[in-house]
Amino acid sequence: MKFRIIIDEREKASGVPKELSKLGAIADYRLLTIGDYILSEDVGIERKSCRDLVASIYDGRLFEQLSQLSHHYAKSFLLLEGDVTGVLKEMKNPKVFFGAIASISLTLPISLLYAVDKEQTARIIFALATHLGRVRPSRPLVKGRRSGMDIPEEQLSIVSSFPGVGIVLAERLLMKFGSPRDIVSAQAQELAMVQGIGRARASKLIKILTEKFRTGSKIGIQGTLEYN
């Protein structure tokens, strides 16, 4: 059987999608806001190289990304790829790495997987897809929100979907301005005053929120998992 796997376009450079194609998977590339590989309506994977994992710990991306992933996919995986030992030797404080892994394991419903290289990563992803192959999806695979949320959750979902925001900054913005409408109406200098936003991110948000939409954009809302 061949499996269609939804893959974030930015993963092309990793070489993993190419390895997946060798195994028989069909890549369905999307610009994903949550996860890097979507295998079913309930299974999402965030892949990180060891170096990217360390960088995402320091800049705060890691916990936001994994919180979003586990919020929308019942079975979520963090797939760590590369030479952990080498990266730890380069770190000034390796305890930060182990502390982050411990925090993820204890506070988030995330399963940790490990691969030494892109070939192993592809084999792990393909093995998961194979085990899921007997189940056909009944709901959208690519997700940004879940049903049944109350108003505060809906508000957080809307604001956290803005590029570069995430759950933590979304909560700060809502606490500062009160509602998504007030956030959209705010000036760049007002947004920049929120901790973690800054001038560059505020300017980008204002541009996204105010620039006229141009037709011809490639937007994928729902995904499909097909079996041949």
Give percent helix, percent strand, percent coil of the chain, each to the nearest 5.
50, 15, 35
| 56 vs 91: CA distance, rounded Å | 14
Question: What domains lie within the chain, and their CATH numbers?
Answer: 4-132 (3.40.50.10130), 151-210 (1.10.150.20)
Contact between 39 and 45 (Cβ < 8 Å) = yes
> Which whole number is the average pLDDT over 12-26?
93
223 by DSSP, 3-state: which?
A: coil
In the predicted structure, residue 156 carries a pLDDT above the cut 90: no
| 154 vs 151: CA distance, rounded Å | 5
Which stretch of 41-45, 89-93, 131-135, 177-181 has the lowest confidence by average pLDDT? 131-135
> Which whole number is the average pLDDT over 18-35?
91
Token pair belonging to 22: 């060798």
Mean pLDDT, all residues of the chain: 82
In the predicted structure, residue 102 carries a pLDDT above the cut 70: yes
In the predicted structure, residue 228 carries a pLDDT above the cut 80: no
Q: In residues, how long is the chain?
A: 228
Give me the residue label for tokens 């079913």: 40
Kindly report whether the global pTM for this prediction surpasses the value 0.85: no
CA distances, 31 to each of 48, 109, 182 (Å): 17, 24, 27
In the predicted structure, residue 2 carries a pLDDT above the cut 80: no
Encode pLDDT of 110-150 as tens digits: 999 999 999 999 999 999 998 886 444 444 455 554 445 56
- DSSP secondary structure code for residue 9 in this structure: G
Which stretch of 11-25, 85-99, 113-127 has the lowest confidence by average pLDDT? 85-99
Angle at 213 between CA 211 and CA 219, to 5 degrees: 125
| 181 vs 183: CA distance, rounded Å | 5
Encode pLDDT of 206-227 as tens digits: 888 888 877 654 443 333 344 3
